């Protein structure tokens, strides 16, 4: 039985420096980190890719830098997980030259794709069959029977809706916990009625559509929650529960939320909390923060904005 605990980190482009530093650091000083943990993948997308969903990712990078970005992550023996979950995607969007180029450049390694529509899933199976597919939390599956049905399908993993978190009456009914990925630090309100609508709005933005700033869902205050406020939510998974309850129950895959602006600043706190042993937190914070300062001055992958 594989006893490895996998963490999936946000920020393919915007979190590049922190993520790569962390992976290297874990290899150099494994005793500073909790036992048996590993970075299972980096999720996100190159800036501006219209297939992207879940969070808005504007700007762009050059084709040359896109290839470089893919190479940097894969050379660390870590998969990239593309967030191709735009719920507003059309059949015409499937022909997008840049997104298809990203898939071509990503062949030959164990990179993965998050999916949330039947149309796009079928497109992946027909055109890029070697890429493992992960069922996205953006589907908002909140019924235990539907979740178990999803787990029976041929996905590598299913990212479980955060409303299941800490509800052990339901978690105990999951038939394949080893195929579940738990979103451990969601910023959204529990049972949020607007979450799926929010994905729709963000999907339209990613495709270049104009959205009125007065759209009610865009005013959601959850996006401004602080590290301490997130920890107070009933859906938050504490590190104690992660290691002492979830892992013994068969859950091995954990997703840290935090894509978008200031990814590295937010992600650093969660890395230190979930992955670093308490006695090494100060040392690792100092090391990772010093690297972040250098990356601001000398980014390896510049992101451009119109």
Task: Give a yes or no: residue 218 inside a domain.
Answer: yes
- pTM for the model stands at 0.96
Task: Give a yes or no: residue 304 inside a domain.
Answer: no
Task: Give a yes or no: residue 119 inside a domain.
Answer: yes
How many separate domains does the chain show?
1
**How far does Cα 65 stand from its chain's mean position?**
21
Could you tell me which residues are beta bridge partners of residue 180? 158
Task: Give a yes or no: residue 202 inside a domain.
Answer: yes
Can you tell me the distance from the alpha carbon of 161 to that of 54, in angstroms, rounded to the nearest whole number? Answer: 13
Task: Give a yes or no: residue 302 inside a domain.
Answer: no
Say which CATH number the domain at 112 has: 3.20.20.70
Domain extent, residue 226, equals 5-297
Task: Give a yes or no: residue 273 inside a domain.
Answer: yes
Task: Give a yes or no: residue 34 inside a domain.
Answer: yes
pLDDT tens over the chain, length 306 residues: 579 999 999 999 988 999 999 999 999 999 999 999 999 999 999 999 999 999 999 999 999 999 999 999 999 999 999 999 999 999 999 999 999 999 999 999 999 999 999 999 999 999 999 999 999 999 999 999 999 999 999 999 999 999 999 999 999 999 999 999 999 999 999 999 888 888 999 999 999 998 776 666 666 778 788 899 999 999 999 999 999 999 999 999 999 998 865 566 789 999 999 999 999 999 999 999 887 777 777 789 999 987
Task: Give a yes or no: residue 305 inside a domain.
Answer: no
Q: What letters, b where the CB count within 10 A reaches 16 and e where it falls short, cover 78-112?
A: bbbbbbbbbbbbeeebbeeeebeebbebbeebebb
């Amino acid at each position: 039985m594989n006893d490895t605990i996998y963490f999936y980190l946000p920020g393919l482009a915007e979190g590049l420096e922190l993520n790569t530093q962390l992976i290297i650091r874990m290899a150099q000083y494994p005793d500073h980190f909790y036992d048996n943990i590993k970075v299972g993948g980096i999720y996100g997308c190159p800036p501006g890719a219209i297939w992207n969903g879940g969070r808005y990712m504007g700007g762009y990078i050059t084709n040359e830098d896109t290839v470089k970005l893919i190479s940097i992550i894969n050379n660390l023996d870590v998969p990239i997980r593309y967030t191709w979950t735009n719920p507003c995607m059309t059949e015409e969007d499937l022909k997008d030259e840049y997104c298809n180029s990203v898939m071509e450049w990503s062949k030959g390694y164990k990179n993965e794709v998050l999916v949330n529509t039947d149309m796009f899933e079928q497109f992946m199976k027909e055109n890029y069959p070697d890429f493992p597919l992960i069922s996205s939390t953006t589907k908002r599956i909140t019924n235990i029977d539907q979740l178990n049905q999803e787990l029976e399908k041929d996905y590598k993993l299913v990212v479980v809706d955060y409303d299941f978190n800490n509800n052990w009456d339901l978690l105990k009914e999951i038939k394949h916990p080893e195929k579940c990925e738990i979103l451990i630090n969601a910023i959204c309100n529990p049972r949020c009625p607007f979450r799926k609508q929010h994905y729709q709005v963000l999907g339209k933005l990613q495709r270049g559509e104009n959205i009125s700033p007065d759209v009610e869902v865009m005013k959601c205050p959850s996006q401004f929650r602080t590290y301490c406020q997130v920890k107070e939510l009933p859906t938050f998974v504490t590190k104690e529960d992660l290691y002492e309850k979830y892992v013994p129950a068969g859950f091995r895959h954990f997703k840290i939320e935090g894509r978008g602006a200031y990814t590295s600043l937010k992600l650093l706190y969660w890395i230190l909390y979930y992955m670093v042993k308490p006695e090494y937190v100060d040392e690792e914070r100092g090391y990772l923060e010093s690297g972040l300062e250098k990356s601001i001055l000398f980014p390896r992958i510049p992101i451009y904005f119109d």
